[in-house]
Amino acid sequence: MLDTTRFAYYVPTLSFSFEHDIRARFQRLHLRAQSLFISLQSMSKYPCTANDVPAIFREPFIRRGYRSIHKPWSYYWKSLFHKHNETINVWSHLLGIVYMFYLLYYYNQRLNFFGNSHSWPFAVSLATATIMFACSAFAHLLHSKSDSIHRTCFAIDYVGVSLHGFGSGFLHIYYSAPEWYYNKIEYQYIFILLLVAITACVLNCFAQHHYRRPYPPMKRVCQFLPCGILWVYSVIPLIVRLVPMQFPLDTISMCHAGQMIFFIIGATLFAFDLPQRFCPGTLDFFGQGHQLFHLCIYFVTICQMHGVFWDYEASRTIIDQRTKPDLIFCAGSMICLILCDIVAVWTFRYWLCVKKQTD
């Protein structure tokens, strides 16, 4: 039998015994973790509850940590460094911007964006992802100032969503689609992708400006349906590449399948307000479905970029023999989408101002 006394003599800092009550230890560990989690959720600096702010600022099943409205702009900028129910949402996407710049540097070393025109679709996708993270971070940081600012901030957030969906599709069709599919549908695919991305932004802006709380189910239909169509259309080249699946999957196929799985998980948590639906008020600071969605988007981006890069490496001889992408086509399509989305945001913002004056 093992002499635990001698073991404890040589390692005196460890309290170890086979006779120790393991169940009691786990109970104490659980209580400590629970206490730490409860204290983590405390947000005394921003004591507003859901009852203290107008309905438009309330999030389902989030009870505390709301910021006051109609404060100076400095109040919201300074809240970046304080604890409230949007802190994690803001910082997760600010760190996402840093990560995008790292990927820009990392892939530029390997693809030479300035000298290799076949790498331009990759640069476009990195740019659209960076804009998406920036739009979301600033929307979550500044939206609490007023009703109109709230609607405008999240309309700008939809610009980022529209751009990211477009950039993802652009990336997939150029590097990951089978050659026969690329030759058959390249320009038609990009044109339809552009229209779907614009439609997603327009319908989300419409839903944000038209509907009032308590929101009818149609609001979510107007928001999630076009975004879902945009996502499905953007991953069609991956689906064509993966079907029929052959197991075991290689590393590249695992990346492509992984990014789709992570997106579906994140979108489900976000769309159905999970897990805070089952414990209202418990996840006000950390653990909300929206935050988990942000985390899933990180994994989507990692899987997407690495999987597509390896596709390019594996098919570089074929891809480099194609007609070189036109800079105006690559950058121009992205700029066209940005301008159309800005027009949509401005139009609905103007419509909101006119409606306020007539009320």
- pLDDT higher than 60, residue 266: yes
Angle at 238 between CA 255 and CA 115, to 5 degrees: 80
Q: Please state the rounded mean pLDDT for residues 80-103.
A: 94
Q: Please state the rounded mean pLDDT for residues 184-196.
A: 90
pLDDT of residue 76: 96
Q: Please state the rounded mean pLDDT for residues 156-164.
A: 95
d(CA 4, CA 311): 55
pLDDT tens track for 41-60: 877 788 899 999 999 999 99
d(CA 165, CA 231): 6
pLDDT tens track for 228-238: 999 999 999 99
pLDDT tens track for 137-154: 999 999 999 998 999 999
- pLDDT higher than 50, residue 16: no
pLDDT of residue 100: 93
Q: Confirm whether residue 140 is marked as ligand binding.
A: yes
Q: Is pTM, for the whole model, over 0.95?
A: no
Q: Could you tell me the fold of the domain covering 86-322+331-358? A: Rhopdopsin 7-helix transmembrane proteins (1.20.1070)
Q: Confirm whether residue 20 is marked as ligand binding.
A: no
Domain residue spans in the chain? 86-322+331-358
- pLDDT higher than 50, residue 119: yes
pLDDT of residue 34: 73
- pLDDT higher than 90, residue 270: yes
> By mean pLDDT, which of 65-74, 189-198, 204-213, 300-309 is the weakest?
204-213
Q: Confirm whether residue 210 is marked as ligand binding.
A: no
C-alpha to C-alpha distances, 352 to 47, 150, 152, 347, nearest whole angstrom: 30, 12, 10, 9
pLDDT tens track for 19-31: 457 777 778 887 8
- pLDDT higher than 60, residue 323: yes
